Structure 1
Amino acid sequence: MESLGTKKLFVEPISYIPENREAELRFQKQKVLIHQELVDSLDLSMLAQISEKELSGEVRAVAMEICDDHASVLEGIDRERLLGELLSEVFGLGPLDKLMQDPDVSDILVNHAYEIHIEKGGQLLESDVIFADNQHLMRIIQRIVSRVGRRIDEVNPMVDARLPDGSRINAIIPPLALNGPSLSIRRFGAKPLQIDDLIDKKSVTPEIVDFLAAVVDSRISMLISGGTGSGKTTMLNALSNFIPREERLITIEDSAELLLQHKHVVRLETKVDNTEGVGEISQRQLVKNSLRMRPDRIIIGEVRGAEALDMLQAMNTGHEGSLTTIHANDTRDALARLEMMVAMSGFDLPLPVIRQYIANGIGIILHVSRLKGGQRCVTKVSEIVSLNSQGDYIVEDIFGFEQTGIDDQGKAQGKFYATGYRPACLKRMEASGIKLSQQIFEKK
């Protein structure tokens, strides 16, 4: 099999070559050539026997020698930057290391070799970082997925994986990606946002937090809904701080992202099938297994399939107070999606039975949204009261958010409000020894 350095896998669309970026493009192309010569010059058998620090020094020394040999070709190129980025090519993510080192960057979106966008401060911005070509980008993608025991090629052109720092990645390559390899990296801060941070960012109010804390503490199961990037996982992490410390939690995720503010946690992650197409472990299997692990609460990072039925069964059989997230546009839309997922379980359950399971198992639905300008915000808190005589849900809104306009920076402005509805779950909270001020529910 030919190496990526000798086989042209992708055609470079001329229209994608960045304007006014010739110097950066030349730098990246020279770096790729030096990197290939560097790899060919290293004694890999010797390098495997030395420490990481010695390895880094050895690579830098060899790189300096190669740069000296090509001094005329490298005229006008920042040698010190070249040496630093060569180390990134060998040990890291190449040009992306610069972005990964910025704590304010939350998403890195590589459309193709010459176009990279980042999310910073809630805003999508085009980065000045580029790759030498699509082969260069493909090498970085292959390095990322190989480190986590995965592979990506024309037979398997899509992959989800997780970096050692917890960042979630998705890569998709030709023939599915027509413009060349595409890479998306969702980063998570070293320290997850606390509930006070969310209040400071005006994502939620202290009154809503008081209510949600009481919901969690009194073991009322909660469903957190929202779109992609709306802050569902961040909210789940923050609310976990209100779970009593003596309780045992089991978390189940496709790609481990949760950093719960709790000591007694067992983290489980699904497993994809191997190259022979066997060995897959699904969320549903993990939910079933978690019931044998003596959990007080089961927390599913995101419910997205047949595991919804097993989750609801757990919520209805002694594992109240469990938490999960779901992709949905509204609190009521979340219920419809949940019904659809239960139907995917393979059991021909009548709709009234499914709805009774949902109404009995879940008490509160919290919806979070990503507003214009990047702000994440709790836009609705609703209670599933019961089912009516026609078998439809009785859902009452408790709190909401009304957008009133856009400020000079293009960010959404608005206000939180209470509907005036007194939740039926207050009785359960009082039975648990939690009494909330009635003023937080007064209509305003």
Structure 2
Amino acid sequence: MRIQARHPWRKRVHDQLLETIDLRRRDLTRMSDAELRVETERLVREILENLADLPSTVDKRALTQEVLNEAIGLGPLEELLADDSVTEIMVNRADEIFVERGGKLQWYPLAFTSDRAVLGVIERIVAPLGRRIDESSPLVDARLKDGSRVNAIIPPLALKGPSITIRKFSKKRLGSSDMVGFGSVSEEMVRFLQICVRHRKNLIVSGGTGSGKTTFLNLLSNFIPEAERIITIEDAAELKLNHANLVSLEARPSNAEGRGAITIRDLVRNALRMRPDRIVVGECRGGEALDMLQAMNTGHEGSMTTLHANTPRDALARLETLILMAGMDLPINAIREQIASAVDVVVQQTRFSCGSRKVTSITEITGMENGRIQLQELFRFEHKGYGDNGVGETGKAVGHFSGCDTIPSFYDELRQQGAHVDLNLFDRRLA
């Protein structure tokens, strides 16, 4: 019997399971995970045995597993989380699930049995992290054990019912050769950025939602020399660095009484007292941008973060706005001077309509002139359209990576530090 055909039976068995647990007044919270699974499976089998009208065509084993997943696991999400081809999961409501595969959105045939079941899954995700979701706090960011990012929002804010969005992260730690192989970046770009990281240039990875900023920040962070001490700071931990001297910090929301919140800004300030060589902030969204810039300017060179912006110029404008959110009454020129002196390079990530993600620009900040931050593009992706008529893969972004015939202003500084920078990296390539 197909998945959709089992859905009414799954709902019926799940409802009976909840009633049975309620009637028997079982305190499931006192059981271990293994005991809970054994007891729940026993109850499900008991319910199935008593269903006289259950058609013989229903696969009892599959039905039992689906009910167990929803009762004590993550329901229909279990199968999707195990599927490496799925990169994003979107639950719009109990009976409306979409997934992203290969950059394309697809409807998924399985569904939750009810809003209550969706809410139960959300609570099972956030409770172990000390977070909560209820009417007084109807939205939450969290993560799964594998590092996948979770956002959940419930009524009254979500009008169709509880909603979950999960952005999965590859189990394999992607290296630069993987990114080059995917066509996300060129070898020349990687070689230049590797030199920048090793020689302590301050970097910002800019891009829109789902453009691959965190993945690329992770790649850059793994270029940091092994001997250095790194502090990572995130709202929900996602970065996977492979360093011995690493401390990972995660922000914390307030409790039910509205107390105890620890913000990204609190953690950035605290990190300065932890003797870091580098500070890596998963994403700057508020006043922590000011503390981050001050750290970059005061002995913590080589630090990195990400920003939501569609161009390098937009990234700097957003940075100005975030610094103003710190509550300091600073003149705009002073803010721009601080940005110009702190940030060395902006790496722009773009997600194309075909779903592919690419580094579309690497831009250097060269200083200030007439109150305006000066930019110099070093590399770009020349987008030529989408594959068709024998050119490129059908529907995929077509183009080529190229230097901009521009040498970075800090080239001499890199050479004095012993870095070998091949000037041919920056040559324009016509195609």
Q: How much is the aligned-residue C-alpha RMSD, in angstroms?
A: 2.0
Instruction: Classify 1:399/1:234 alpha carbon distance in 2 versus 1 (closer, same or farther; 3 Å).
Output: same
Letter in 1 for 2:386: I
Q: CA deviation at 1:113?
A: 1.5
- Equivalent position to 1:233, from 214, 225, 237: 214
Letter in 1 for 2:398: Q
Q: CA deviation at 1:368?
A: 0.5
- Equivalent position to 1:81, from 48, 52, 62: 62
Instruction: Classify 1:74/1:139 alpha carbon distance in 2 versus 1 (closer, same or farther; 3 Å).
Output: farther
Deviations 1:9-46 (A, max 9, x none): xxxxxxxxxxx986243133223224324534778469
Describe how 1:127-138 pairs up with structure 2 within 5 A: 127-138=108-119
1:144 aligns with 2:129: no
Aligned match of 1:33? 15
Deviations 1:113-154 (A, max 9, x none): 121111112211111121223233223223333333332222
Deviations 1:255-306 (A, max 9, x none): 1111113221101111111100111111111111111100001110001110
- Equivalent position to 1:213, from 190, 194, 206: 194
1:169 aligns with 2:150: yes
- Equivalent position to 2:380, from 394, 400, 422: 400
Q: Is the 8 A contact 2:13 2:47 kept in 1?
A: no
Where 2:76 maps in the other structure, the secondary structure is helix
Where 1:97 maps in the other structure, the secondary structure is helix
Counterpart-to-counterpart distance in 2, 1:335 and 1:382 = 11
Q: With the length of structure 2 as denominator, give the TM-score of the two structures.
A: 0.93
Describe how 1:41-120 pairs up with structure 2 within 5 A: 44=26, 48=30, 52-53=33-34, 55-73=36-54, 75-120=56-101
Counterpart-to-counterpart distance in 2, 1:47 and 1:336 = 50
Instruction: Classify 1:443/1:114 alpha carbon distance in 2 versus 1 (closer, same or farther; 3 Å).
Output: same
Counterpart-to-counterpart distance in 2, 1:420 and 1:414 = 18
Aligned match of 1:417? 402
Identity %: 46
Q: Is the 8 A contact 1:237 1:258 kept in 2?
A: yes
Q: CA deviation at 1:253?
A: 0.7
1:430 aligns with 2:415: yes
Aligned match of 1:340? 321
Q: Is the 8 A contact 2:139 2:151 kept in 1?
A: yes
Deviates more, 1:404-413 or 1:110-119: 404-413
Q: CA deviation at 1:73?
A: 3.8
Deviates more, 1:406-415 or 1:343-352: 406-415
- Equivalent position to 1:373, from 339, 349, 354: 354
Q: Is the 8 A contact 1:38 1:66 kept in 2?
A: no
Letter in 1 for 2:359: V
Counterpart-to-counterpart distance in 2, 1:38 and 1:76 = 25
Where 2:90 maps in the other structure, the secondary structure is strand
Instruction: Classify 1:429/1:31 alpha carbon distance in 2 versus 1 (closer, same or farther; 3 Å).
Output: farther
Counterpart-to-counterpart distance in 2, 1:319 and 1:432 = 17
Aligned match of 1:3? none
- Equivalent position to 2:298, from 317, 337, 355: 317
1:357 aligns with 2:338: yes
Letter in 2 for 1:297: R
Deviations 1:375-396 (A, max 9, x none): 11000000001111x1211100
Q: Is the 8 A contact 1:34 1:67 kept in 2?
A: no
Deviations 1:176-204 (A, max 9, x none): 11112211111112222111110110100
Q: Is the 8 A contact 1:312 1:358 kept in 2?
A: yes
Structure 2: gaps of 5 or more residues = 389-393
Instruction: Classify 1:117/1:377 alpha carbon distance in 2 versus 1 (closer, same or farther; 3 Å).
Output: same
Aligned match of 1:259? 240
Counterpart-to-counterpart distance in 1, 2:252 and 2:35 = 35
Counterpart-to-counterpart distance in 1, 2:42 and 2:29 = 13
1:178 aligns with 2:197: no
Instruction: Classify 1:46/1:442 alpha carbon distance in 2 versus 1 (closer, same or farther; 3 Å).
Output: closer
Q: CA deviation at 1:400?
A: 0.4
- Equivalent position to 2:106, from 125, 129, 146: 125
Where 2:338 maps in the other structure, the secondary structure is helix
Where 1:378 maps in the other structure, the secondary structure is strand
Counterpart-to-counterpart distance in 2, 1:61 and 1:31 = 13
Q: CA deviation at 1:236?
A: 0.8
Instruction: Classify 1:318/1:139 alpha carbon distance in 2 versus 1 (closer, same or farther; 3 Å).
Output: same
Counterpart-to-counterpart distance in 1, 2:305 and 2:349 = 13
Counterpart-to-counterpart distance in 2, 1:346 and 1:74 = 66
Counterpart-to-counterpart distance in 2, 1:46 and 1:205 = 53
Deviations 1:395-434 (A, max 9, x none): 0000001211212532211111111011112122112211
Describe how 1:292-311 pairs up with structure 2 within 5 A: 292-311=273-292
Q: Is the 8 A contact 2:14 2:71 kept in 1?
A: no
- Equivalent position to 2:5, from 17, 20, 23: 23
Q: Is the 8 A contact 1:67 1:74 kept in 2?
A: no
Q: Is the 8 A contact 2:6 2:63 kept in 1?
A: no
Q: CA deviation at 1:66?
A: 1.9
Q: What is the aligned residue count?
A: 423
Where 1:308 maps in the other structure, the secondary structure is helix
Counterpart-to-counterpart distance in 2, 1:206 and 1:22 = 47
Deviations 1:202-260 (A, max 9, x none): 10011111100000011010011001110011001111221110000001111111111
Deviations 1:73-120 (A, max 9, x none): 455422111111222123311121111111221111011112111111
Q: With the length of structure 1 as denominator, give the TM-score of the two structures.
A: 0.90
